[in-house]
Amino acid sequence: MLDRSPGVDWDDIAGLHFAKRCVMEAVVWPMQRPDIFTGLRGPPKGLLLFGPPGTGKTLIGRAIASKSGAKFFNISASSLMSKWVGEGEKMVRALFAVAREFQPSVVFIDEIDSLLTQRTDGEQESTRRVKTEFLVQMDGAGTSREDRVLVVGATNRPQELDEAARRRLVKRLYIPLPDTEARSSLVGRLLQKQTNSLNETDVRGVAQLTAGDFEIAVRMVRASVSNRDLEGYATWNESYGSFPSTDPSAGKTTPPPTTAGATAPEQ
């Protein structure tokens, strides 16, 4: 757990302007102004970020905590599992109890599919109990409706999530591979501390030349990422996602979202 906001700004995340804007409007603003966003317009209790590995899902989770002034809990799914009977459920209850104590808070679960995978008849009873306890805590059973605890899950395999978990992660956002603009930004940052004579055109050319390298780098992280997987993400997003796979206003210049002088849109 971090005892303060992570200090991650949108500018620290290259590209993904559409995803940032969706997160600001659907998550951050409601968390900042719960007095305005009430009832059906209230902040969601769960957000799912899905897509290939290495595309910035964890950074987005940290940015949500920073922008909303929330405490950030970075939890791995394995840390909530135990070989001792009943210990896993206790850790889940303790996690949410601390998150409620330090609210507003963001609980980030990486590889959430390994924790909340689809339940089967053959799985261990201890694993089933941990899943059930996590889902109960997400529902906020026995807690105030005004609690500001957001669960952010990140996964490369959204299709393996349990249906009950998917329903509770009410906002689901696809985080795609970086486009040319994002790659240009990444290349520019890598060159900032190096002496070089490249101009903006050169940097953009490098970004275009490295289009394949970026995809190969992602594939090296996890061999299952292929063109077929990318098509699978898009298909899953069409069925269960809360936002389009791409910015519907593509082609227009869209600056990154900011909080300075921003006003929440009418709901």
Measured CA angle at 215 (ends 212, 216), to 5 deg: 85
> Is a pLDDT exceeding 60 seen at residue 255?
no
Task: State the pLDDT at residue 25.
Answer: 86
> Is a pLDDT exceeding 90 seen at residue 69?
no
Helical pair 125-139 and 87-101, crossing angle rounded to 10 deg = 20
Task: State the pLDDT at residue 267.
Answer: 43
Task: State the pLDDT at residue 177.
Answer: 79
Q: Are strands 46-50 and 171-174 parallel, antiparallel or unpaired?
A: parallel
The dihedrals phi and psi of 123, each to the nearest 5 degrees, come to: -75, 160
Q: Write out pLDDT tens, residues 140-155.
A: 744 566 678 889 999 9
> Is a pLDDT exceeding 50 seen at residue 239?
yes
Round to whole Å and give the CA distance between 252 and 164: 38
Report cis status (omega within 30 of 0) of the bond before 256. no
Mean pLDDT of 259-263: 48
Which band of pLDDT confidence, cut at 50, 70 and 90, is reported for residue 265?
A: very low
Which band of pLDDT confidence, cut at 50, 70 and 90, is reported for residue 49?
A: very high
- Lowest mean pLDDT segment, chosen from 25-39, 90-104, 215-229: 215-229
Task: State the pLDDT at residue 148.
Answer: 82
Mean pLDDT of 84-104: 86
| Residue range(s) in the chain whose domain bears CATH number 3.40.50.300 | 17-174
Which band of pLDDT confidence, cut at 50, 70 and 90, is reported for residue 223?
A: very low
Distances (CA, A) of 76 to 24, 92, 113, 137, 229: 25, 12, 11, 17, 24
Mean pLDDT of the chain: 76
Q: What is the DSSP code string of 92-111?
A: HHHHHHHHHHT-SEEEEEET
CATH number for region 17-174: 3.40.50.300
Question: Considering the chain, what percentage of its residues have pLDDT values greater than 70?
Answer: 73
Q: Write out pLDDT tens, residues 28-46.
A: 888 888 888 877 777 788 8
Helical pair 200-209 and 211-221, crossing angle rounded to 10 deg = 50
Q: Which of 156, 134, 135, 139 is nearest to 49 (CA)?
A: 156
* Stated pTM of the model: 0.71
